Structure 1
């Protein structure tokens, strides 16, 4: 892996490929949401909120909207009463799986725990 020197061509970290990647997975909740979407392929809002546990309705809703706007998450609405909405990963979201797997491997290698 090469991290090219961008120091003379950028104004901030967000102007780099690394910065872009961080903007897609950074923050307190994005990787947690991505993790559960990988585990369940398609999941309803309330079930996702229960799996995460400590996230508020407002925060989860905002994060999912942002991730949908970023092209990471797909929202499928079913025309029924009561309304049913499922969230899943887009192809772009699934392309983050190798990064997440590398993070898991790093955790295994460095945590000192046996899972």
Structure 2
């Protein structure tokens, strides 16, 4: 077993970050869905900004396969899709709020 594989298995923090939340846009996607009430693909893309459509699709699919998001496909014309946090995804909200609090408390130190 490789050293980095061993550390991932021993530490749930590293494992969660690398296997579930790793990816340039995943935290931001979760943030907009959880805190900004943004659920549609196009709106997510506009809020995030410089994300390629293929990257957003990939990140959403990975979050969905991890059980963090659920995709609701409306059978309408024109078709549209919405994403919502699952119960598992909602359990990340307190963690994100703690990270926000930590960031707020240490912002001055971090941005010197």
Q: C-alpha distance in 1, partners of 2:68/2:5? A: 26
Runs of 4+ in 1 over 6 A off after TM superposition: none
Q: C-alpha distance in 1, partners of 2:32/2:52? A: 16
Pairwise mapping of residues 73-84 of structure 1 onto structure 2 (< 5 A)? 73-84=69-80
Aligned to 1:12: 6
- In structure 1, which of residues 21, 25, 28 is the aligned counterpart of residue 24 of structure 2? 28
* Number of residue pairs the alignment of both structures matches: 104
Unaligned runs of at least 5 residues, structure 2 = none
Aligned CA-pair RMSD: 1.8
Q: Alignment partner of 2:95: what SS?
A: helix
Q: Alignment partner of 1:85: what SS?
A: strand
8 Å Cα contact 2:67-2:86 kept in structure 1: yes
Higher helix share: 2
Pairwise mapping of residues 58-69 of structure 1 onto structure 2 (< 5 A)? 58-69=54-65
TM-score computed with the length of structure 2 as normaliser: 0.84
8 Å Cα contact 2:32-2:38 kept in structure 1: no
Unaligned runs of at least 5 residues, structure 1 = 1-9
CA deviation after TM superposition for structure 1 residue 41, in Å: 4.1
TM-score computed with the length of structure 1 as normaliser: 0.82
